[in-house]
Structure 1
């Protein structure tokens, strides 16, 4: 049985769309974002509402392939397909787009998307260590601040930016607290429901209302834990899910793990808890510097080397008593595909745990083949 409050998370998207309409009617702006590297605190401080844009379903990919090559990551093709078909309500509501150079495919796709709506591209340094990378990223924050002020007609004030930083930090703390419930022997929240909670954050127009929902969920999870309520059978293999981001429409691997009897105790990927343990320093005289330091620490596979991802995985494996790791790579996502070797070596050699690397796309054509592989993997653990 699911937590009762999950119904509110599922309805949150409709409420957010209504809020966006009211915000725009009042003269406000909406920023479409695609990635964790977009500093949403800065967007909100400029008076705009950031919303995560669609890109996790197969339907619009055929439209995208009229322009983009077929042998490209499905996330990129889906994102662009939604844009050119205007079938994502959040893209339709967006006044401008924030892009980032996390991979070459997205970088070139953003060139084409910039023909549809105003688009600002943040240029990422690919080495998070050292002062040069931080100095460069601070300048990118300053450049983004100028773009946002130009688009919204509103200056970003230090006091408001610090307020938004505190609010985002509070949400991150609540999400991290929710994720920690799965350390227990009886896991009270499924991976699919955790995905829904995280997706609500990415499309939520009112962060304070979202924080209220999170606190209600925490209360219900506390009650479920006290009563010994679990979302899995006794002895179910405890799985860490890592790799590329997933969402509604591209959750097939996540769903198969749970259908086959595994329990997702943690999701390290971008639609999981990646970055939720990273807080921005509060009440500083230079909040842009503080934002730059925090966002540069996100352990994305676009970073080289990416030791922070292994550090995060190490902590999750130990804290959540993980028994196996499933690493998902979308086809043609080269950074995560190459890094899968490092992750597998780290998991199997350092921790002595079995791992399963899955490379797939958004289609359902390989679902039964994947089911067979996942069933065999879980039997190996059991």
Structure 2
């Protein structure tokens, strides 16, 4: 399979990930693109396919997407669709199937358009977590995904295969949590920007078990840094927790800038960070019950009520000795915008600084964002 000419514009590291996927594809492996942490990667892996996050964190295709989508739409949705229609994301290009969930209205309508050019399977996500009916519906969606994969890929997905995938994925979550917990140290042995890159890299893994070995080596290295006191982070840096919308598309102008102006991001509560990693899949239960319980427990703002997010924030502020919280709201993301009021209340109760930052993937507000972040860190 040849690579489209548009791929040549990608950075070397990204191209290496793309080439790994191409090699897997050429070897006969099916590729399944995913957008959200609600997707049960374990079922996809048990089908002998490769689950991988598809491109949605850059503004390079937003203008193309706006030919079909409204301009006042979340940049993540526009980027997701733009990469698909321009063939600029090899992960989408190579994908035999795309799996989405009905998290927000913008996404589920975008999936309708995406379904005209790709094989799209949409899981109907219930928006109530503590409801037996919702759990039963979500379990049914797990089984529908399994049946869709079996039909389209001509495979049989056994419970034993799912159990094996659950074990490997749980192991990865535990390793990532162990790396993450090192940021509780003062100073942490790693910057938040580097931590963000580690977590992001796990979304593009051909061999999870091999990646787990890399994570173990990384833990040893970071523990050594902590033991020798050679942290790259100043002990005077203000300790910041980032919450809100996925931060992948704004990591450069928010996370990196925070650490350039006197802060250090010690915790990411959002989808890009610890939120999905907090709870493992129960390995003692029926696999579909266990997967449904685990994935429905993720406290995204689409849930109503979403008390789990506020409880988690309360715990993380204390555990990571946080000085301030930055709540990122991507433009036109209504659920996170509304929840910002509740996040501020949690911060006030914990007597830590709070800042809501509404932005998008554009570089047009870089200067303004930097000025606001400087003022926030100085205030702390």
The interval holding the TM-score normalised by the smaller chain is over 0.9
Superposed displacement of residue 16, structure 1: 4.2
Matches of residues 182-197 of structure 1 in structure 2 within 5 Å? 182-197=183-198
Following the alignment from structure 2 to structure 1, what is the Cα–Cα distance between the partners of residues 106 and 232? Answer: 38
Following the alignment from structure 1 to structure 2, what is the Cα–Cα distance between the partners of residues 283 and 23? Answer: 32
Following the alignment from structure 1 to structure 2, what is the Cα–Cα distance between the partners of residues 377 and 63? Answer: 35
The range that moved more, 255-264 or 57-66, is 255-264
Following the alignment from structure 1 to structure 2, what is the Cα–Cα distance between the partners of residues 96 and 339? Answer: 33
Is it true that 1:204 corresponds to 2:205 in the alignment?
yes
Contact 1:240–1:317 (CA<8 Å) still a contact in 2? yes
Contact 1:325–1:353 (CA<8 Å) still a contact in 2? yes
Q: Which residue of 2 aligns with 1:353?
A: 352
Following the alignment from structure 1 to structure 2, what is the Cα–Cα distance between the partners of residues 304 and 229? Answer: 44
Matches of residues 178-327 of structure 1 in structure 2 within 5 Å? 178-247=179-248, 250-284=251-285, 286-327=286-327
Q: Which residue of 2 aligns with 1:110?
A: 111
Q: Which residue of 2 aligns with 1:363?
A: 362
Superposed displacement of residue 24, structure 1: 2.2
SS at match of 2:202: helix
Contact 1:186–1:229 (CA<8 Å) still a contact in 2? no
Q: Which residue of 1 aligns with 2:374?
A: 375
Following the alignment from structure 1 to structure 2, what is the Cα–Cα distance between the partners of residues 12 and 166? Answer: 29
SS at match of 1:50: strand
Q: Deviations over 1:95-147 (max 9, x none)?
A: 11001111000000000001111100001100001211101101111111111
Q: Which residue of 1 aligns with 2:66?
A: 65
What's the C-alpha RMSD, in Å, of the aligned pairs? 1.4
SS at match of 1:304: coil
Q: 1:110 to 1:250 in 2, by over 3 A?
A: farther
Q: Which residue of 2 aligns with 1:3?
A: none
Contact 2:242–2:267 (CA<8 Å) still a contact in 1? yes
TM-score by length of 1: 0.94
Following the alignment from structure 2 to structure 1, what is the Cα–Cα distance between the partners of residues 235 and 294? Answer: 39
Q: Which residue of 2 aligns with 1:164?
A: 165
Q: Which residue of 1 aligns with 2:8?
A: none
Q: Which residue of 2 aligns with 1:97?
A: 98
Structure 2: give runs of 5+ residues left out of the alignment: 1-10
Contact 1:238–1:322 (CA<8 Å) still a contact in 2? yes
Superposed displacement of residue 59, structure 1: 0.8
Q: Which residue of 2 aligns with 1:121?
A: 122
Q: 1:96 to 1:340 in 2, by over 3 A?
A: same
Following the alignment from structure 1 to structure 2, what is the Cα–Cα distance between the partners of residues 130 and 89? Answer: 39
Q: 1:91 to 1:309 in 2, by over 3 A?
A: same
SS at match of 1:251: helix
Superposed displacement of residue 22, structure 1: 3.1
Following the alignment from structure 2 to structure 1, what is the Cα–Cα distance between the partners of residues 341 and 250? Answer: 27
SS at match of 2:122: strand
TM-score by length of 2: 0.95
Superposed displacement of residue 12, structure 1: 7.1
Following the alignment from structure 1 to structure 2, what is the Cα–Cα distance between the partners of residues 294 and 131? Answer: 14
Matches of residues 12-161 of structure 1 in structure 2 within 5 Å? 14-161=15-162
SS at match of 2:248: coil
SS at match of 1:301: coil
Following the alignment from structure 1 to structure 2, what is the Cα–Cα distance between the partners of residues 169 and 77? Answer: 32
Q: Which residue of 1 aligns with 2:3?
A: none
Following the alignment from structure 1 to structure 2, what is the Cα–Cα distance between the partners of residues 292 and 34? Answer: 18
The range that moved more, 189-198 or 158-167, is 189-198
The range that moved more, 299-308 or 12-21, is 12-21
Superposed displacement of residue 366, structure 1: 1.1
Superposed displacement of residue 81, structure 1: 0.5
